[in-house]
């Protein structure tokens, strides 16, 4: 690891400002998915178990720089307390005299959850004054919010100018190790599987991966733009007409590099998203009045064959509209193929994680990233502000 980690800090008697990603989905006052809460529990337990007190901070939703009961972290405090088997007190704010007093009164083994950081405009503005107030709450800084590491926000970047050392938490450390392994020292062949709706969302990623991978597998809605670039009619399927020439350029680059790009050979088509069933047709025979909503069985077999020889796999994005049962098979089968091979596999993005859970193979994935945007930006080769701000090891 090029960055200092929490395991190398002497935490006894210290107040730790722990920036986590507790941005979980809520149904009213109920947390509907506590994956991100469970992910940070080991870091909290590590700090408390070594005699630290913890000032825990996170954002939730987009309250636009002002307090909003809808975006209070109260439900998070309750659910996190259940996971930790201890009470998680919630402060009324994240800065101010009362919060400072409560933070400074913490004893070893105690913790305080700050209210939503984004209730203050200074958070997203990366404001130094706001960051200085946050820094005054603790004696060292730990960032375990890899999912927010691509944001230059006050609790992620500016705070480290006033609070040192700044270390990676256990989750951040695992994320960086898994992704660095893919980018810098993958066991080959390295295969990338990309899906999702739009080429434009992943263009930088596709172009960066072409220089790294041994083969690139493309499914999902974005595949139709590549198929159109090859001259296929795609009916009413999702198509980014302004990206056709870009897709053609990517395919030409891949051909020159000798990097195989594996595209669908058949698709499950239907009248629309609400159709109860679909039928598989060759990509050469997509009817003008139909839309492709999943990869077909021949493509599933083709993708599985491409994955079989892989020793490292990175996957982001579903193969179709998998939230609809009629169009879920392709994504689930690809998930099973990724999990069933010998490769070290890394997956990221909410839909992809949901897919491997739905397929029942989550326990056979090498590493599951809790991040979306940060996961993609790291794989694109970008410098993430939240990583760059950490103290060098």
Q: Which residues are catalytic?
A: 36, 198, 350, 373
Tally Cβ neighbours within 10 Å of residue 288.
Answer: 8
- Cα 63 to chain centroid, rounded: 21
Residue 373 exposed, middle or buried by CB count within 10 Å (0-12, 13-18, 19+): middle
Is-cis flag, bond preceding 111, omega within 30? Answer: no
Residue 182 exposed, middle or buried by CB count within 10 Å (0-12, 13-18, 19+): buried
Selection from 13, 190, 21, 181 nearest residue 106 by Cα = 13
The torsion of the CA quartet 348, 350, 355, 356, rounded to 10 degrees, works out to 40
- Helix, strand or coil, per DSSP, at residue 26: strand
Dmax of the chain from CA atoms? Answer: 70
Selection from 205, 202, 203, 199 nearest residue 227 by Cα = 199
Give the Cα separation of 52 and 17 in Å (integer): 10
Residue 100 phi, psi dihedral angles, 5° rounding: -60, -45
Contacts (Cβ under 8 Å, ≥6 apart) of 142:
6, 9, 16, 17, 18, 19, 43, 47, 166, 167, 168, 169
Residue 292 phi, psi dihedral angles, 5° rounding: -80, 125
CB 234 within 8 A of CB 292: yes
CB 383 within 8 A of CB 359: no
Q: At what angle do helices 199-210 and 222-229 cross, to 10 degrees?
A: 70
């Amino acid at each position: 690891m090029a960055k200092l980690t929490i395991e190398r800090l002497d935490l006894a008697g210290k107040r730790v400002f722990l920036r986590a990603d507790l941005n979980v989905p809520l149904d009213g006052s109920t947390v509907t998915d506590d994956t991100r809460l469970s992910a940070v529990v080991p870091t909290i337990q590590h700090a408390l178990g070594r005699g630290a007190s913890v000032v825990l901070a996170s954002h939730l939703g987009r309250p636009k720089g002002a307090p909003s009961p809808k975006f209070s972290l109260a439900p998070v405090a309750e659910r996190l307390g259940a996971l930790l088997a201890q009470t998680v007190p919630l402060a009324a704010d994240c800065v101010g005299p009362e919060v400072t007093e409560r933070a400074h009164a913490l004893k070893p083994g105690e913790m305080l959850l700050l209210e939503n950081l984004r209730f203050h405009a200074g958070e997203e503005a990366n404001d130094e004054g706001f960051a200085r107030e946050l820094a005054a709450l603790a004696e060292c800084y730990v960032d375990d919010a890899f999912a927010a590491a691509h944001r230059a926000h006050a609790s992620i970047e500016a705070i480290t100018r006033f609070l040192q050392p700044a270390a990676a938490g256990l989750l951040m450390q695992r994320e960086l190790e898994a992704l660095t392994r893919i980018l810098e020292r993958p066991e080959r062949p390295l295969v990338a599987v990309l899906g999702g709706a739009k080429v434009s969302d992943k263009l930088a990623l596709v172009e960066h991966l072409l220089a790294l991978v041994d083969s690139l597998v493309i499914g999902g809605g974005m595949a139709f733009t590549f198929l159109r670039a090859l001259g296929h009619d795609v009916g009413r399927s999702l198509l980014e007409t302004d990206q056709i020439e870009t897709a053609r350029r990517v395919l030409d680059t891949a051909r020159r590099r000798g990097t195989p790009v594996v595209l669908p050979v058949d698709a499950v088509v239907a009248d629309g998203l609400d159709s109860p069933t679909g039928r598989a047709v060759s990509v050469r025979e997509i009817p003008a009045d139909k839309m492709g909503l999943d990869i077909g069985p021949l493509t599933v077999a083709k993708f599985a064959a491409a994955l079989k020889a892989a020793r490292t796999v990175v996957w982001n994005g579903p193969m179709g509209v998998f939230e609809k049962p009629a169009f879920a098979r392709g994504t689930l089968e690809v998930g099973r193929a990724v999990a069933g091979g010998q490769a070290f596999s890394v997956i990221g993005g909410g839909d992809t994680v949901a897919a491997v859970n739905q397929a029942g193979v989550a326990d056979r994935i090498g590493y599951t990233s809790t991040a979306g945007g940060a996961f993609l930006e790291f794989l694109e080769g970008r410098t993430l502000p939240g990583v760059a701000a950490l103290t060098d090891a």
